[in-house]
Structure 1
Amino acid sequence: METAEGIKILTVDSSSFTGSVALCRGEFLVAESLLNVRSTHSEKLLKQIDLLLDEVGWILQDLDLLAVVTGPGSFTGLRIGIATVKGLAQVLNKPVVSVSALQTAAMNLPLCSVPICAFLDARKKEVYSQLFEWHPSDGPIAIGPSSVLPPEKLLKELPEKVAFVGDGVLLYRHLLDALPAQQALIPVATAHQLRAAHASWLALQAWQRGLGQSAAEILPTYIRPSDAELNLSSKQGI
C-alpha cells in the first residue's frame, strides 16, 4: 500500500443531477470530471471513469482506495454510484470509504468563519440540511444532526448568522433573500455544486483514521424512507 501522500483514489458522486468523478494522489487532485446534464448517471458514470483513467495514464489496478458519496440525495443516483463503486471494489479487492453529501457540500466554503449550513434539494418541497464548523486542519466538522425538512421550517431553527451552500440555495433563493441580510451569507452560484474532488479529501482523512470498509459494508444514507418503503408501510397500516 502506498503512503497517504501517494495513495491513488477514485471518488464518485452521483447524489444529485451534477455527477462528478475525481482521481487524486493523496490530497492532490489529478483529474476531475463534472457533468451537470439531464441524463442518468448510468449513461455517463463509467464513461467518465474510463476517460479520466485514460487521460492520466492509470488503470483500475493502480487504484489503492475507492470512495463514494452515499447521501443523502437522489435515491436513484445514489444506488447507481454506490453499485458502481462496490462492483469495482469487489473486483479489485480494494477498501472503500463512504462520504456524506452534506459534508461534501460544506467543503465548498473553506475557512468560513460562521456556521455552514449544507442546504441540499430533497425534492417534495424539502431540503436535506446539517450545520458544520470549519476547522483549518480537519475541514468541516458537524455541529448538529442531519435532517430533512421543509425549508421554511428549517430557516426558523437556524442560528443568527449562517452561510448557505448546496443546490437547495438556488432552488429556494427567494426564501433566503427574505431573511435579514446579517443572518444569511450566500456565496456565488458556482459554489453550490458538489465535487468528487472534495469528497476525495474527506475520504482520505477517514481512511487515515481507519474508517475504510469492504464493498459489502457500503450503504446509502437516505435520512427519509424511499417512496417504496412509504407505500409498503401504508399498505401494512404502519
Structure 2
Amino acid sequence: MRDIHILVINPNSTASMTQKIAAAARAAAGPFSRITAINPLEGPAAIQGPADGEAALPGLFDLFERSLKTDPSISAVIIACFDDTGLWELKAKSRVPVVGIGEAAYHVASVAAERFSVVTTLSVSVPVLEENLQRTGLAARCVRVRASDVPVLELENPESDARHKIEAEIQAALRLDGIGAIALGCAGMADLAADLTAQFKVPIIDGVASAVRLAEAITA
C-alpha cells in the first residue's frame, strides 16, 4: 500500500480547534497515512451558519490552492467543517479527492444504521445541514438535524456545559427519533465520539474520523 498524505483544512481561524481536529484525524488514520492539519490565519473564528461560511471562503480557497500548488505529495484533502464549507466548489476543481466531514459522517451513519439523526451546535446551522443532506442524497435516511444550543467556541472551553447539552440532545434523539446512530455535527465535537458511543451504546459518528477513513479508501 502506498503512503497517503491527507491535508486537513479547518476553514475557521481557531488554532486550538485545528489541533483537536488533527489529533482526531491522526487517531483514525492508518499506518501508511500522514496527516497535515492547517487553518487560515484570518476569517471567522467559528462557522455558525451561512454568513460565517461565506466569510470563510476566501481564506479557505487561498489556503487550498497554495497548499496543492506547493506540495505535490498531497493525496486527498479534508474540509473539517461540518457545514462542508466550500466543499462542492473545491471538488469541482481539485486534482485530488476532497472530502467534507459532514458528507463523510452522513455516509458512515447511513451504513451504521438504517436511520440516523444529527446533533449539531446552533439552530442557525440546521438549514445548511439539511440542504447538504439533500445534496448527498441521504436526507431520507436522516430523521432530524437537532441543535444542542452550544456555540462552537464553547466546545473549546473545558468549563462550559457544552458536553451536558450535547448528551441531553443525544438522549432526546434516541428517545424520540427511532434511530440507530447519531452524527456529531461539528468538528469541535471530534474528541467526544468514543466516550459518547460507550455511554449511549449506539454508534456516535465523528465526521473527522469518518472523512479520514473514506479518504484512505478512495486513495489507496
TM-score of the alignment, normalized to the shorter chain, above 0.5: no
* Structure (1/2) with the larger strand percentage: 1
Relative to its length, the structure with more helix (as a share) is 2
Computing the radius of gyration from Cα coordinates, the structure with the larger value is 1
TM-score for the superposition, normalised by structure 2: 0.39
